[in-house]
Chain A
């Protein structure tokens, strides 16, 4: 579903944000992309959804070469950026209708689709409120509804639980699992909440300073890194790898 080969991004100032990254994500996966702040996660997501041109390397989304047909790729992806802004003067419903119209969807079908999305993210009672009056959790749920407006096959969620309280985090997690199961959407997610990633994802990649340290299935990694002292978690593996990498650097 998502394939990246030797992906490298060097900014104009010479900073190498991503270095020879290889990724392979299958249909229906919930893929956790983990890394400390400034490790290049957002740059990678932006390359995968066509906002940034890679300095070198190839990206294939659902078999489409992103460099050759970015518009076709945009039709099948939904993205919730890390710093996701909203038109505060719009209502939740107007916001979703606006994005649906940008994808030139049929007006009647769009109205039904928006109603269905609002219901699925639990905003039915608040959809006529101005977004300016929404709480952070409501905004995140609206943002997730927006990523689904074009019925994407893949969604990219960059820190979707950022700034949410524990109950808000749990709601978003539940929503992501539902989306994956009911709509068979492939999910690419970044988060600092490693315990949540362990619950949500079936595959993870650990990434630091633009370099991939480890990737694979959650069970596979837990087995690989388990030791005599007992059970390990993704959090243990993350710290073991990133701290060792810092020592090397």
Chain B
């Protein structure tokens, strides 16, 4: 199911051709500027440390998702636009191997973003005991969210005809799914807001991060509920991707 040649080629393409290494440099710069704002701007530095860490961790996941969307949404549509998909499908490599190779390389890009964020999380959490648990939670929830985003955006890349369509549709879907994560506290505390929190995987991830940063308890019932909500989305994403893989084909009339 795993073809190392595809993974190596995709990593090279993502990091060098799709300018992934440049993106990572920009992400590091962004993290530096934001971290600096948190410690140097008076209003921001007055925030509770748990709020600072939670906000920064949310940002890490959102940036990871945006990079994932671009890479995943162009993964197959680029092959179609460059007329390379036909040659790929004519080899003995299965459609599953192609899709999994592409997914793995996309997730590796998220891991690079996550690794970049670690020193900043440690610096922002200095003096508190939450740094290790928040890093662990960013890794687990971030990876799960990125997997969901990658599965859905890759499927759109297979089904839609152009990279532009796939990127735009993926971003619109991401915004719809992300909205509950940015609702005001009053709405979140209502029963509808609470339900939305579970329905949106991103909102669930944010709730986990908040719960870890504030209480340092990541095994509470609430956190488990959010994890289950995210895992359900991973399953949904897998089903969607499975449908997408069947649709990898060269279209005729």
Contacts and interface: CB of A to CB of B under 8 A. Distances in A.
Given A74-B91, A102-B91, A85 B82 contact: yes
Nearest to A105: B5
Interface string A45-56: 010011110000
Instruction: Provide the main secondary structure of the chain A interface.
Output: loop
A99 B16 CA distance: 20
B82 A87 contact: yes
Contacts of B82: 85-88
A104 B82 CA distance: 24
Interface stretch (B21-29, B47-55, B132-140, B245-253): B245-253
A231 B11 CA distance: 59
A87 B90 contact: no
B83 A84 contact: yes
B91 A99 contact: yes
Contacts of B86: 51, 79, 81, 83-85
A89 B20 CA distance: 14
Q: How large is the interface on B (under 10, 10 to 19, 20 to 34, 35 or more residues)?
A: 20 to 34
A15 B13 contact: no
A94 to B, nearest CB: 9
Q: How large is the interface on A (under 10, 10 to 19, 20 to 34, 35 or more residues)?
A: 20 to 34
Q: Which of B6, B17, B90 has the most CB of A within 10 A?
A: B90
B253 A102 contact: no
A98 B83 CA distance: 16
A75 interface: yes
Given A13-B253, A17-B253, A46-B252, A85 B92 contact: no
Contact of A102 (B6, B13, B85): B6
Interface string B185-215: 0000000000000000000000000000000
Given A79-B87, A85-B84, A98-B5, 10 more contacts: A17-B252, A46-B252, A52-B250, A81-B90, A87-B9, A88-B82, A89-B17, A99-B91, A101-B4, A146-B87
22 contacts: A11-B253, A15-B253, A46-B250, A51-B90, A75-B92, A77-B90, A79-B90, A81-B83, A81-B86, A83-B86, A84-B83, A84-B86, A85-B85, A87-B9, A88-B82, A98-B9, A99-B87, A101-B4, A102-B88, A102-B92, A103-B92, A150-B91
Interface of B: 3-6, 9, 13, 16-17, 79, 82-93, 249-250, 252-253
